[in-house]
Structure 1
C-alpha cells in the first residue's frame, strides 16, 4: 500500500514536468510511435485484408501470419532490427518492429470484417449490376468496418504496450521512467510509470470501443441466426477463430 502511495506521489510531484524526459513529452513520443506505426500498418494491411476477404484467396496465409506473429518476442524483434540496421537507424528499426507487430491484427480485422458478411448480401449486390469495385466500397467495406475498427483497436493496444520497450534503445516514451527506475532501484518510479502506461492503454481501449460501436452501419441490428445458419462452415469458422483469438 505504501508503494502505491509513493508511486502516486511520484506521479504528482512537480519534477514530472521538468528534467530531460518530462511526462508530457514522454506521452507525446509514446503516442507518436503508437499511432504512426499503426497508421503505416493500416496502409499495408487493410488493402491486403480487403483483397483476401473479397476474393477468398490467401486465407491460409492470413491465418498463418496472424498466428505466427503472436509467437514473435517483441523485445527480441526490436533488438534484432537495431543490430541489423545499426544504432544510427534505431528509430527506423523500432518503427519497423512496431509495424510488423501491428499488421496481423489489422489484417485480421480487415479480412474477417468482409468474410463475415452474409454471402447473400454480396450476391444481391451483384444481381443489381454493381461492379466488384462498387461491391467492395459500397457494401463490403461499410459492413466490415466494425471488425476492422476492432482489429485497429487490438493493434493499438499491442503497440502501445510494446512502445514501452523503445526506451531500452534510448528512444524515450513512457518506458523511460520504468527502465530508469529499475536501474536506480526506485520502485515507486517503476510503478508510477507502469500506472501511466496502463492508464493510457485503458483510455485508448475505451476510445476505440466507442468508435467500434459508432462504426456499425445505421439499420444493422445484431441478431442471433437460427436453424442451419447458426454456424458457418467448419473450415471458415476455424479460420475466423484463429484470426480473432
Structure 2
C-alpha cells in the first residue's frame, strides 16, 4: 500500500517572512523621526512666542506675517542658488568626463575648490561690491560655494558607469549623445542626487548670511536680534533656520 507524501513548505521562508514587517516599520520610523521632531520644535516655539510678554521690537520682528515674508525670501534664495548650481555643475561635470576634456579636469576642479575654500561671507562682500547689495550677489555667492559637491558627484557618477554597458550600447548603433542621455546620466542620477542634497543643505544654512548684504531671509531675524540686543529674536531665528 503506497501513500502520497504531501510536500511541506520550506521552514526558512515562513521564518523569514515575519521579519519583513518590523524592518519596514523601523525604516518608516527612521524617516518620520526628524520631521516629527522638527514639527514639535516649531510648535513649541510658536506657543512660546504667543505666551511671552513681547515688547514692541519683538512683536514686530516675531509677527506671523513678518516671519512668513522672511521665510519666503529664504526659500527663494535657496531655490535660485540651487538651480544655478545645477545649471553650472551638471553640464560642466559631463564635459569634464569626456575624453577630450580630461587634460583640463584638474585645473577646473582646482578653480571650483577655490570657490568652496573662500569663506561665504567673503564671497558675499566681493559680489556685493560687484553687483550691489541684494538678492543677486547672495545667489551667486551661494552657488559658487556649493557647486563643487554637485560637480564632483556628477563626475563620479558618470565615471562609475560600467564601460561594458557603454560599449554594448555603442555596438547597438547608439550615438554618443544617446548613450549619455539614455544610459550614463540615468545610471548616475543617484550619485548626482546625493551631491544635490549636500548642496541644498549647505544653501539652506548659508543663505542666512544674505541678511548682511540686504537679501533678507531668516537671517534678518538673527541680525536684528543681535543689533537690537533681543536674544529671544535671535533664538527664534536660529530655530527657524
Using the size of structure 1 for normalisation, the TM-score is 0.69
Task: Tell whether the 8 Å contact from 1:167 to 1:175 is kept in structure 2 after alignment.
Answer: yes
The size of the alignment, in residue pairs, is 188
CA RMSD, aligned part only? 2.3
What is the aligned partner in structure 1 of residue 107 from structure 2? Answer: 61
| Partner-residue secondary structure (3-state), 1:185 | coil
What is the aligned partner in structure 1 of residue 183 from structure 2? Answer: 139
What is the aligned partner in structure 2 of residue 234 from structure 1? Answer: none
What is the aligned partner in structure 2 of residue 192 from structure 1? Answer: 236
Query: After TM superposition, what 4+ stretches of structure 1 lie above 4 angstroms from structure 2?
Result: none
| Partner-residue secondary structure (3-state), 2:130 | helix
What is the aligned partner in structure 2 of residue 41 from structure 1? Answer: 85
Higher relative contact order (CA 8 A, sep 6+): 1
> Could you list the runs of 5+ residues in structure 2 that have no partner in the other structure?
1-40, 52-58
What is the CA-CA distance between 1:69 and the residue it aligns to? 2.7
Select 1:100's aligned residue among 135, 144, 158: 144
What is the aligned partner in structure 2 of residue 200 from structure 1? Answer: none
Q: Distance in 2 between matches of 1:10 and 1:72?
A: 40
> Does residue 89 of structure 2 align to residue 52 of structure 1?
no
Select 1:168's aligned residue among 212, 223, 236: 212
Q: Distance in 1 between matches of 2:168 and 2:74?
A: 46
What is the aligned partner in structure 1 of residue 135 from structure 2? Answer: 91
Higher CA-based Rg: 2
Q: For each residue in 1:39-85, what CA deviation from the matched residue of structure 2 results, as whole angstroms up to 9, or x when unmatched?
A: 12211221111122243624313432343233111001101111233
Q: Distance in 2 between matches of 1:86 and 1:32?
A: 18
